[in-house]
Structure 1
Amino acid sequence: MTGSELKELILSSPQKGQRRFYNEYKNYVYTIVCSKLGKCGAREDIEECVSDVFAEIFMNTDKYCSAGDLKGITGIIAKRKAIRAYHRLSRSRFLFDELDDSVSDRYDISAESEKKEKSRILFGKIKELGDPDSAIILMSFFYGLDSGQIALRLSMKSAAVRKRKQRALKKLRSLLSGTGIGEE
């Protein structure tokens, strides 16, 4: 069937014409799309792109049938859709590959999990010290405050803070013995 006969069939009987058009050009469109997406797209991506080409043509049948050579227009639409799909797929694949590499290089899930568990145990044991010892330990080691700054915040003398800190650390060591924290 020639291009002009196919145009007439599409315009006179759209459903028959579209079916005939699809059967005539599916291999042509599939070949164009495969040449662009063969290395970066999965089979589903290729089939989706082929479907998009035919959907574009069928939704704008009047425009494309009156434009001239139907095979040439179909080839151009297939090529453009495939190139857009290629850019979309290669960009997302690049982003995911880069993300995988950066995450796997910087993030060790088991080590992070172990670290979180140790932190949870440590904070639980610090809490067991009671006030003001737990506050002194937290302000000193986690907020970096010195004895004078802690004394001002807790309304204590600096010497008392130092002595309580010393005793709290000794008590914390005994609470942590057997937990695997601080034994390395």
Structure 2
Amino acid sequence: MTDSEICRLLQESPDKGYRALFEEYHGYVYTIVFSVLKNFSSRDVEECTTDVLSDVALSFDAAHNSVIKPYIAAAARNRAIDRYHRLSNDNKVISFDDEVTKQISSDEDTEANVENAETAKLLLEKIKMLGKPNSDIIIQKYYFGRNSFEIAKILKMNPVTVRSSLRRSMKKLKKFLSDMDITL
């Protein structure tokens, strides 16, 4: 079943859409979640996998986007990392001794982290300003590390078109950022 068909089902019949989504992507999500939670029980991995698929079925905007796989990959990775931290913290007792105090970031590190977060947020806003499919191409290339053939397959485009769109989009993005005196 294609992503478009799953999106249509999610809009028309959420139950059927969820079943189709589950059947099509359960193995994919399980693999992503397992790569993060491999040191925990299979029950934890399966619960996280089911949570991801439920979240996607409830929150994916099928009316505006018909490419599910990248959305699922990001949701699975993020949910698994959150679960990893929660499960890891459940098994630890934290005491604030000298060693922990040394690990707490200094003010300079905090300022740098805040500045980096603000720059990342601004960069994402500028990428979104490029519009679709250009923003999708940049995110697929630099966030997911996909090549032009993989991106073309996901976005149902020609690989040559993907490369030329990427080149033009990066020029526009660099101009946006240079106008704001931001260099990466």
Q: TM-score, normalised by structure 2?
A: 0.47
Q: TM-score, normalised by structure 1?
A: 0.47
Largest Rg, 1 or 2: 1
Greater helix proportion: 1
